[in-house]
Amino acid sequence: MTEQKSRAKLEPNLSKTSKRCAPDPPDDYSIWLSMDGIAPSVPWRLGSYGNGGALSDSDLLELAKQFDLPTGLLRTLSQQLGFCLDVESEVNLVEVKRSKAIERTGSDIEKALKLTETMEAAAKKLAALLEPLSTQFANSKEDAAILPAARAKAQELCSTITATIDAIDAIRRTSGSAAVMRPFNKVHVWDKRREYVIKTCCHTWSEVRRSITYTSNDAAPKGKKREGPLVDFIQAIVAKVTDPPKELRVETIRKDIDRFKKSMAKPDELTTPPDKCINSS
């Protein structure tokens, strides 16, 4: 599990330069974790594509004709999509908000306390059962040592459980000492594969000097209000790398296009001094 901290209610900024230049986070913020077992938002056609790419030759010819793009450029796009959709990659990030994660520990801590209190009562009964027993008729010193050893272990168990109760109670009284690290719902799951696919499409589009943009059509039905050649291109690519073929929500595409444009507007973190960072004050 890896952690990437972000400012509250903002998309995570994972660049080292931005982390260095950003102000200290407020008391409440989100972190983004890579977690196993999170279902993707889109049925991506994952595989081990290598340099062969994720698109077939017929796909390349169809896309070249539909969008008037060079097949060589589309072949490069296909290879990059193959890297994005590699079956071994782990790119689902889950947002966990600090305040909510801490708040959700309450029921678990109460359950833990009740369980340990039950265990404490059982351990004391165990110690009480062993206490009146005698070693009077033991056949040897070794045999006679078994009962005292059992009593000592029972007392040790009582002490351990009592210490555990004290520790759990300290967690209950100390905010932030424990947190439940899981998302609240799918809204808080960030499908990085989707972002990588859209970013790759945007890079390809920009290679032929086409505008990284979209238009808004207020007269269109809800969910169809964002349109344009780049949106059509992205939808065509997504349909070819999903199984069954699927389209993305246009508002999701809009957000990822905006994120791409914002990332392209940032200074190069390898060549920009820290005091010229985009987040510097």
Per residue in 214-272, pLDDT (tens digit) is 988 777 677 667 889 999 999 999 999 999 999 999 999 999 999 999 888 775 544 44
Pairing of strands 226-227, 92-97: unpaired
Give me the pLDDT at residue 191, please: 77
Q: Please report the sign of the dihedral spanned by the C-alpha atoms of residue 226, residue 14, residue 82, residue 89.
A: negative
Burial code of 254-263, b = ≥16 C-beta within 10 A, e = fewer? eebbeebeee
In the predicted structure, residue 36 carries a pLDDT above the cut 70: no
The larger pLDDT score, comparing residue 201 to residue 14, is at 201
- Gap between the Cα atoms of 219 and 106, Å rounded: 48
In the predicted structure, residue 1 carries a pLDDT above the cut 50: no
In the predicted structure, residue 67 carries a pLDDT above the cut 80: yes
Helix and strand numbers (H, E) in the chain are 10, 6
Residues 6+ apart with CB under 8 A from 179: 96, 98, 101, 102, 104, 105
In the predicted structure, residue 108 carries a pLDDT above the cut 70: yes
- Gap between the Cα atoms of 201 and 235, Å rounded: 10
Give me the pLDDT at residue 188, please: 54
Give me the pLDDT at residue 275, please: 43
Give me the pLDDT at residue 5, please: 40
Per residue in 169-196, pLDDT (tens digit) is 999 999 889 998 876 655 556 677 888 8
Give me the pLDDT at residue 189, please: 64
pTM: 0.56
Mean pLDDT of the chain: 81
In the predicted structure, residue 279 carries a pLDDT above the cut 90: no
The larger pLDDT score, comparing residue 114 to residue 90, is at 114
DSSP 131: T
The larger pLDDT score, comparing residue 45 to residue 17, is at 45
Asked if residues 209 and 183 have their Cβ atoms less than 8 Å apart, the reply is: no
User: Of 15, 9, 12, 17, which Cα lies nearest the Cα of 32?
Assistant: 12
User: Of 176, 191, 180, which Cα lies nearest the Cα of 255?
Assistant: 191
Give me the pLDDT at residue 281, please: 31
Strand partners, 44: 242
- Gap between the Cα atoms of 257 and 128, Å rounded: 70
In the predicted structure, residue 122 carries a pLDDT above the cut 90: yes
Give me the pLDDT at residue 192, please: 79
The most confident of the ranges 3-17, 36-50, 153-167 is 153-167
Asked if residues 165 and 116 have their Cβ atoms less than 8 Å apart, the reply is: yes
Give the whole-number percent of the chain exceeding pLDDT 70.
76
**Residue 159 confidence class, pLDDT cut points 50, 70, 90:** very high
The larger pLDDT score, comparing residue 275 to residue 65, is at 65
Give me the pLDDT at residue 46, please: 87
